[in-house]
Structure 1
Amino acid sequence: MKNLSPLPLWAAVPVAASAGIILDAAFPDRGWWPLAFVGIALNLAVLIGRRLGAAFLVGFVAGGTFYLAHIEWASLFLGPLPMAALVVLQALFFGVGGMAITLAYRWVPLAYATLSGRLAVLPITVAGLWVFREGVASTWPYGGFSWGRVAMSQSDSPITSLFGWLGVSGVSFAMVLLVAICVEAVRYQGSPQLGRAIAPLALAAVMTGVPSWPTPTIGTLRVAAVQGNGPAGYFDSREPGDLTAAQLGATRPLFGERADVVLWPEGSTDDSPLTDPYTAAVFDEVSRQMGAPLVGWAVTERNDRTYNTEILWTAEDGATDYYDKKHPVPFGEYVPNRDFWRPFAPDLIDLVQRDYTPGTTDPIFDIGGVLVGINICFDVVDDRVLRASVLQGATAIFSSSNNADFGRSDQSAQQLAIARIRAMELGRSVVNVSTVGLTAAIGPDGEILQQLPWFTAASLVQDVSLIQTVTPAALFGGQIEFALAGVAMALLVGSASYPASRRKLIDSVDAV
């Protein structure tokens, strides 16, 4: 058996840097999805045959360049210092994850020194460790940061049918598994080329050939979604009432049109209808003129706590239900451990004067007997919030967002792609409504049915399909992620039991 030599460290570092940039190009707004597989391959290639310190370095470089390119929009809202801190944190996860993957490349071939070991056990371990790293980064610290999981680059690829079966984590696993098998097919010289080609070709055929989970329609809901294009940015210049006036102005052309519900985005009003008579009167007017409930938005206060809230409102009864955002943005919508962080950047920390409390309400509204899942902005990247709404009976999903702080950056396009992936994953129509864009109605197959242009006061009216079928991803998505990470860790730890003296000898010879 002969392996190709690993890259020297002086070459691995620039390759790692290019890997991050190439991986970002797979995501919207460019959306060159095949480059995700190239970026993953380069990420893995630079980790092979590496000492742990060098593995951390190249992993850190790859993660750093990826997130610098991928979330450059964060600097528009939070400024360069918080963005840099977020990039460094995510790069640290890449670095530590890279160390684990390097150990897999070092140990697993010794414990499973066969063709199946190299083309099955090793790729499964590597892909599972990748998913483990994504899972940890998505939940910790302060609720984690789920942006940038490799599966989220695939909203337009031929493997979208996998989302309904495997969920986001499962698709990430399948992508890395395919790449890892291809890497080993090139590296492993112990069998004929045809034999080494069968495994990746077979997996690629399965990934592209699996049918979508069936989503039979039980009815439709006519949704009017309104993009007010008001001055909703954190630092936008505005007078009291400007936000509500802009949103109402964009809604008035719809008056008299038939709809089952009117949907307003996060950040679309100045005051809460629960405490401000004028805002309540506006909500009443919209509901009365449309002959339908309004799903509106407000900052609400209850029990000395502040919430980012979607409110279900009717002209007859006022507020009939509400949903509080589950995951306010750390250092954007609240400051965790404020007393600890303030000495490091007092001016920056003091900019965030209001601390939103994470919500505990259920993510469901009953709209005339139709159960609809509700989420606000970054909630859309949280697997648990979206799954919970479907498991509680949601037949469609409303995703509300304020994207005004991010200008015409990639952020809105990335978020819309995630909403499309959620539609395919959960088998639900999704209406994504934003203050400034991108507002769109999405079918359960991820197809965009209607979309409004950026930074334009406009509205759309769309009949969206209602679905009751629950996908495997909705039922078992959490268990799939846990199982994949658990199997990978078990294989890695099990491989570490290979005789220590032999492992030490090979480590000293091969690692660079």
Structure 2
Amino acid sequence: MISRLALAVAGGLCVWLSFPGPAVWPAAIVGVALLALATKGTRARTGFLLGLVGGFACMGPTLHWAGTYVGAVPWLALSITESVYLALMGMACSLVQSARRWERVPAWLSPADGPHVRPLAIALLWVLQEAVRDSMPFGGFPWARLAWSTAGSPLAHLASIFGAPGLTFVVALLGGWLALAIDRIRRGMPPARAILPRLWPVIAGVAVLGVAIVYPTPTNGKKIQVLAIQGNVPTAGLEFNAQRRAVLDNHVKVTDAAAKKIKAGKLAEPALVIWPENSSDIDPTRNPDAGTEIVQTVDGIGVPLIVGAVLNEPAPQTSNTSLLYLPDKGIVDRYVKQHPVPFAEYMPYRSFFRNFSSAVDLAGNFAAGHKTGLFRVPTKTNGVVKVAPVICFEVAYDSLTRKPVRDGAQILTVQTNNATFGHTAESEQQLAISQIRAIELGRSIVHISTVGVSGLITPDGVVHDKTSLFTPQAIDGALPLRSGETLAVRLGALPEWFGCGVALLLCGIALGGNRSSRRRSLSVKEVHELV
């Protein structure tokens, strides 16, 4: 049992190492393999324990930023909650890898030397686990998905086929094949003539990697010149909001400096300027001073500006919004964040959770929006450009990023604020999600944060003009506008639902097979006793 626990811990740590900041993407494949080997041949309750231990070994360090300024309790609560999903997956992995009767599965999937269906089952169970974890409770938390570990790797190119769930499937399938190869090798080196048949999982994995390397990710299209402003905050941490006017002034200052460079010919004239989330936490629709400052900035630079602002509505709640300003017109459109973050932007069951930590009162009271954001931005050189505003963690939700593309978005802006997470890997993790989204959706993304890390992402997932943390900076560049839909956008959630259905089917077959085997064993025992 100790060796299995060691394998589970090593597997969880490997998955963590695949995410930013370590960002060793092959480690995710190794991690899946180790977790599969740890649960192979165990009972369901043992698989649950191993999944829980391995899950915390992954989630603990990956999500340690959650407790940067609020202490260990929220971090532990989030990490343990997320680990429970991996524990349930560990139970299911134990079930499908110890099934005694796979004859109900087609024969070509279940040869005599061991069912090839196991790597497939492992991969599908990862998809199922993430689908559940990404949707419940309170709308789920789609962080630390295997798909996000592939940003910057050759595998990322496959995101445009079946989206993030499909990418998770590929990573987990490679891990399942690796586990099968290791299991076969450790059972004894076969004769020379049988080596290749035994190592086919490795050959298949190399083939998948080869396909991923050459798979095209188009980046052509008429380009739009954009300018994104990382204004920085006076103080990192939860108190950044106490100096709201200083944050707004910082973004005005950096924008005005960029406007002077544009007039001097030192910077290309943009068609659009983007500020990040919380760049104006003073409601510019109710505070004349803040509203005037933004309008003057827009008129000064002379192009449309998208501002991340907090509005004091609907009373007594607030709303996290993107506001589209046009020169000489002011606000012409707005988008309200559809998925406020539970335990941060709002607190479910506040009175109950206050019994565990007074930090719950730091959570906001934000209302959710109900409409997909799609700004029709008039530009001098590109005509009317359809821009989809996405606010902060919304980038991690499949449907919230896919819907505006289906509605015609040509480019996305991910406006975020990472000031509350300090100098941690959270901002890099979020940038990696935007990289995968760019490939999956076939769209350029302006990923802009108040404090960084920010960058301009082309549809091939490459980050340009990447910034450092807590540094004021204006980033500019020409990004391609695209209107075609990738296969991932056209198929939507169908591949994920199909994968989840097959995973449940395989679990059912394995469970039925195990029960039948136990009944048969009991019958044989009864016969011997009678004799």
8 A Cα contact 1:59 1:95, kept in partner? yes
Residue in 2 aligned with 1:176? 172
- In the TM superposition, residue 488 of structure 1 has moved relative to its aligned partner by 1.5
Residue in 1 aligned with 2:302? 291
8 A Cα contact 1:271 1:298, kept in partner? yes
- Cα separation, 2, equivalents of 1:157 and 1:499: 39
- Cα separation, 2, equivalents of 1:197 and 1:102: 23
- In the TM superposition, residue 503 of structure 1 has moved relative to its aligned partner by 4.1
Bigger radius of gyration among the two: 2
Residue in 1 aligned with 2:526? none
The match for 1:31 among 23, 27, 43 is: 23
The match for 2:119 among 114, 119, 123 is: 123
The match for 2:490 among 453, 466, 475 is: 475
- AA at the equivalent of 1:116: L
- In the TM superposition, residue 361 of structure 1 has moved relative to its aligned partner by 2.2
- Cα separation, 2, equivalents of 1:498 and 1:272: 62
Residue in 2 aligned with 1:91? 83
The SS at the match of 1:242 is helix
1:310 pairs with 2:303: no
- AA at the equivalent of 1:160: A
After superposition, the Cα gap between the structure-2 partners of 1:240 and 1:328, relative to the gap in structure 1 and judged at 3 Å, is: closer
- AA at the equivalent of 1:297: G
1:57 pairs with 2:61: no
1:215 pairs with 2:225: no
- Cα separation, 2, equivalents of 1:282 and 1:98: 55
The SS at the match of 1:38 is helix
The SS at the match of 2:87 is helix
The SS at the match of 1:441 is strand
- AA at the equivalent of 1:10: I
Provide the alpha-carbon RMSD of the alignment: 2.2
- Post-superposition Cα deviations, 1:288-331, rounded to whole Å, max 9, x if no partner, equal 11111110021113332321111001232221111111222211
Runs of 4+ in 1 over 6 A off after TM superposition: none
- Cα separation, 1, equivalents of 2:290 and 2:70: 29
Residue in 1 aligned with 2:350? 338
Residue in 1 aligned with 2:232? 229
- In the TM superposition, residue 220 of structure 1 has moved relative to its aligned partner by 1.5
1:367 pairs with 2:370: no
The SS at the match of 2:371 is coil
- Post-superposition Cα deviations, 1:123-162, rounded to whole Å, max 9, x if no partner, equal 2222111110111111111111111111211112221211
The SS at the match of 1:218 is coil
The SS at the match of 2:513 is coil
- Cα separation, 2, equivalents of 1:251 and 1:193: 63
- Cα separation, 2, equivalents of 1:254 and 1:506: 78
The match for 1:356 among 342, 366, 388 is: 366
Aligned length: 497
8 A Cα contact 1:230 1:247, kept in partner? no
The match for 2:206 among 197, 204, 207 is: 204
After superposition, the Cα gap between the structure-2 partners of 1:113 and 1:197, relative to the gap in structure 1 and judged at 3 Å, is: farther
- AA at the equivalent of 2:411: A
- In the TM superposition, residue 482 of structure 1 has moved relative to its aligned partner by 0.8
Residue in 1 aligned with 2:252? 248
- Cα separation, 1, equivalents of 2:28 and 2:293: 46
1:266 pairs with 2:269: no
- AA at the equivalent of 1:242: A
The SS at the match of 1:107 is coil
Query: Gaps (5+ residues) in structure 1?
Result: 1-8, 508-512
After superposition, the Cα gap between the structure-2 partners of 1:348 and 1:238, relative to the gap in structure 1 and judged at 3 Å, is: closer
Q: Which one is further off, 245-254 or 205-214?
A: 205-214
8 A Cα contact 1:178 1:204, kept in partner? no
After superposition, the Cα gap between the structure-2 partners of 1:270 and 1:498, relative to the gap in structure 1 and judged at 3 Å, is: closer
Q: Which one is further off, 135-144 or 109-118?
A: 109-118
After superposition, the Cα gap between the structure-2 partners of 1:317 and 1:417, relative to the gap in structure 1 and judged at 3 Å, is: same
Task: Give the structure-1-normalised TM-score.
Answer: 0.92
- Cα separation, 2, equivalents of 1:429 and 1:444: 5
Residue in 2 aligned with 1:495? 510
- Cα separation, 1, equivalents of 2:439 and 2:480: 13
- Cα separation, 1, equivalents of 2:389 and 2:474: 19
8 A Cα contact 1:20 1:62, kept in partner? yes
The match for 1:193 among 192, 195, 212 is: 195
8 A Cα contact 2:374 2:388, kept in partner? yes
- Cα separation, 2, equivalents of 1:77 and 1:193: 54
8 A Cα contact 1:28 1:414, kept in partner? yes
1:421 pairs with 2:425: no
After superposition, the Cα gap between the structure-2 partners of 1:506 and 1:39, relative to the gap in structure 1 and judged at 3 Å, is: farther
- Cα separation, 1, equivalents of 2:158 and 2:131: 18
- AA at the equivalent of 1:262: V
Residue in 1 aligned with 2:58? 66
1:396 pairs with 2:411: yes
